[in-house]
Amino acid sequence: MANPTTTIRLGIIGCGKVAWERHLPALLRLPEIRVVATVDPITARSNALGERFGAQHRLSDYRALLELPGIDAVAVLTPTASHAEIGVAALDAGKHLLMEKPVALSLAGCDQLIERAVRSPSKVVVGFNLRWHRLVRRARAFLDSGALGRIKVIRCAYTHDRTGETAPDWHCKLELGGGVTLNEAVHHFDLWRYLTGSDVDQVFSYGNPSQYYEEETCVINGRMSDGALATGVFTLRTAPNSEVEIYGELGRLYLSLYRFDGLEFYPHSIYGGNFMDRLKKTLAAIASLPEAVPILRRGGDFQATFFGLWRHFVDCILLDRPSQSTLEDGKASLRVALAAIKSFRSGRPVGVLTAGSRESKPLDG
């Protein structure tokens, strides 16, 4: 039997696309984790992922996994509607928990998870993997240094090339946790908070449906609690992009999460097209190639964020470190998303912190 002080025996709940494409490559690089069980209601998927890991147990019901002896931790990689239920059950069973975002469909679901986690010795990490992006970490350190001065505006874009023809209902229908705001924009709501240290106070959202998604595209304007303004463009079924630009009194910081050289600072005295500035940045990008090549060979910076997420989960358990992506962070991001959806439906601005924390069905029409 594995020694729990050196090896984490993991059960994976949810064996779909994100498990295969993002979490599997990261887990295969972590010798401290041994996947001993896989769960999916579609037996073929549980069997396939279980075979890839050499898992002893390949199940169709998460409750059967939680009854197994010798499981130290579980990963909840299921559709959003089941996150809170499975997360609560895992904490009640004494398991460490890594769960995908958003953590619930309602703030009441978040509160239930938080209540269980407070009473449990288990470690909980929410899957805001962008917090472990190499350039996001550098951007936060830059902002913490005060080099940008007082932050005035945040601008971001997060878009996907996903095709709606094959998207499941849970990804398309708002009541099931679908739509671009809950599935994609929550990542950037979290980045707004992570990078600036400020909460979102109010949002106003315009949204468009499509034949596939009840909410395929949205533009969200927000006001941060420190007075800074924010705007985000989010859409599915287009070209992939993920970028954040922060404007301060001393300049602007540009961050592209899909470029290895995607962090650029423009002082207030330099225009973006300045030739010498562009030349200097080009030479710096060339000089950074030796650092970038190993990362690119392992799938690039975006894939590396999942390794960082899992590495942190391992350290939380084995080294007793505090989570850097908590259920409270998950609730804060969900609160913004629910307020944005309410604004999209009502055509009015919505206060994020006054939207009410105990509603049980905030996605109902």
pLDDT tens digits, 319-329: 999 999 999 99
Here the tokens at position 217 are: 């595209």
CB atoms within 10 A of CB 7: 16
From the list 327, 354, 325, the residue with the least C-alpha distance to 338 is 354
Is 145 in the same domain as 171? yes
In a domain, 348, yes or no: no
Domain final residue pick, 295, 312, 333: 295
From the list 37, 32, 39, the residue with the least C-alpha distance to 16 is 39
CB atoms within 10 A of CB 75: 28
Is 285 in the same domain as 245? yes
Q: Are 39 and 71 in contact (CB under 8 A)?
A: no
Average pLDDT over residues 72-79: 98
Is 116 in the same domain as 140? no
Average pLDDT over residues 286-297: 73
- Distance between CA 317 and CA 199 in Å, rounded? 28
The conformation of residue 131, written as its DSSP 8-state character, comes to G
In a domain, 61, yes or no: yes
- Distance between CA 324 and CA 308 in Å, rounded? 11
| Maximal C-alpha separation, the chain | 64
Q: What stretch of H or E contains 230?
A: strand 229-235
- Distance between CA 358 and CA 337 in Å, rounded? 15
Is 274 in the same domain as 209? yes
In a domain, 90, yes or no: yes
Is 122 in the same domain as 150? no
Here the tokens at position 10 are: 């993991």
pLDDT tens digits, 145-161: 999 999 999 999 999 98
Is 81 in the same domain as 141? no
In a domain, 356, yes or no: no
Is 214 in the same domain as 170? yes
Here the tokens at position 151 are: 């932050």
pLDDT tens digits, 199-241: 999 999 999 999 999 999 999 999 999 999 999 999 998 999 9
Q: What is the 3-state secondary structure (H, E, C) of 87-100?
A: HHHHHHCCCEEEEC
pLDDT tens digits, 159-199: 998 667 888 999 999 999 999 999 999 999 999 999 999 99
From the list 155, 200, 197, the residue with the least C-alpha distance to 338 is 200
- Distance between CA 163 and CA 17 in Å, rounded? 14
Residue with tokens 């998927």: 45
pLDDT tens digits, 2-25: 444 689 999 999 999 999 999 999
Strand 96-99 versus strand 73-76 pairing type: parallel
Residue 148 CB partners (closer than 8 Å, separation 6+): 142, 246, 248, 249, 250, 251, 252, 253, 265
pLDDT tens digits, 104-141: 999 999 999 999 999 999 999 999 999 999 999 999 99
Share the mean pLDDT of the chain.
Answer: 92
From the list 61, 114, 34, 131, the residue with the least C-alpha distance to 325 is 131
Give me the pLDDT at residue 108, please.
97
In a domain, 215, yes or no: yes
Bridge partner list, 266: 252
Q: Are 222 and 239 in contact (CB under 8 A)?
A: no
Is 138 in the same domain as 286? yes
Band of the pLDDT at 363, cuts 50, 70, 90?
Answer: low
The dihedral through the CA atoms of 270, 275, 280, 282 has a sign that is positive
Is 236 in the same domain as 162? yes
In a domain, 111, yes or no: yes
Q: Write out the residue range of the structural domain in which residue 198 sits.
A: 134-295
- Distance between CA 334 and CA 104 in Å, rounded? 8
pTM of the model: 0.92
Is 202 in the same domain as 107? no
Here the tokens at position 171 are: 């990804």
Give me the pLDDT at residue 358, please.
37
Is 172 in the same domain as 256? yes
Give me the pLDDT at residue 11, please.
98
- Distance between CA 22 and CA 25 in Å, rounded? 6
In a domain, 336, yes or no: no
Residue 11 CB partners (closer than 8 Å, separation 6+): 35, 36, 37, 38, 39, 57, 65, 66, 68, 71, 73, 74, 75, 95
Here the CATH number for the domain that contains residue 23 is 3.40.50.720
pLDDT tens digits, 228-279: 999 999 999 899 999 999 999 999 999 999 998 999 999 988 777 777 777 7
In a domain, 120, yes or no: yes
Residue 14 CB partners (closer than 8 Å, separation 6+): 39, 40, 75, 76, 77, 78, 79, 100
How many structural domains are present in the chain?
2
Here the CATH number for the domain that contains residue 240 is 3.30.360.10
The dihedral through the CA atoms of 247, 253, 257, 258 has a sign that is positive
Is 160 in the same domain as 286? yes
